[in-house]
Homo-oligomer: A and B are copies of this chain.
Amino acid sequence: TSATKAPAIERQLACSLEDLYRGATKKMKISRDVLDATGKPTNLEEILTIDIKPGWKKGTKVTFPKKGNEKPNIIPSDLVFIIEERSHARFKRDKDDLIYTHRISLVEALTGCTVQLTTLDGRNLTVPVKSVINPTSEEVVKGEGMPITKEPSKKGDLKIRFQIKFPTNLTSDQKSGIQQLLPKP
């Protein structure tokens, strides 16, 4: 007997950046029709387990074959979960790298600062920056980015960028002090 196959059913699976960093197990409840011995459709609830691997990217697909509704003479459709990445309050992902924007005052930018942050797996990271920070400075911490699924021993980089808060106004004394202190154009 030749049976046609119903088209795949796609469902989004939203994951936090923490889930994609550490890996996670998601249980998804699905409800579908199956045919009993007499060919009568009965509703069946089922729990599917999805094993999120560290480093998975948005768009990764997990396919459960033939998990659509059963109907006579039709091969049930595949059920496909598509990984979605939720936006994160502190980190942006750029492929295997993580980008962290650190807010500092102009004084800190000029005199040095220490960046302290909590990684996606909850560790405290301390990054001292000795050099002068300008608006396009980027401090790269090797190996503190996202895990790489295919090379579990490797990670991408963490890129720390800076948002420098300038004073909104200065007195004429402050201005002449700065003109004496800093190099002229």
Contacts and interface: CB of A to CB of B under 8 A. Distances in A.
Contacts of A179: 107, 111
Q: What number of copies of this chain does the assembly contain? A: 2
A177 to B, nearest CB: 5
A68 B166 CA distance: 61
A110 B170 contact: yes
A183 interface: yes
B108 A185 contact: yes
Nearest to A110: B178
Given A107-B178, A178-B182, 11 more contacts: A105-B185, A107-B182, A107-B185, A110-B167, A110-B175, A111-B175, A111-B179, A132-B168, A134-B165, A135-B135, A177-B181
Top 3 closest A-B pairs, CB basis?
A134-B166, A105-B185, A135-B135
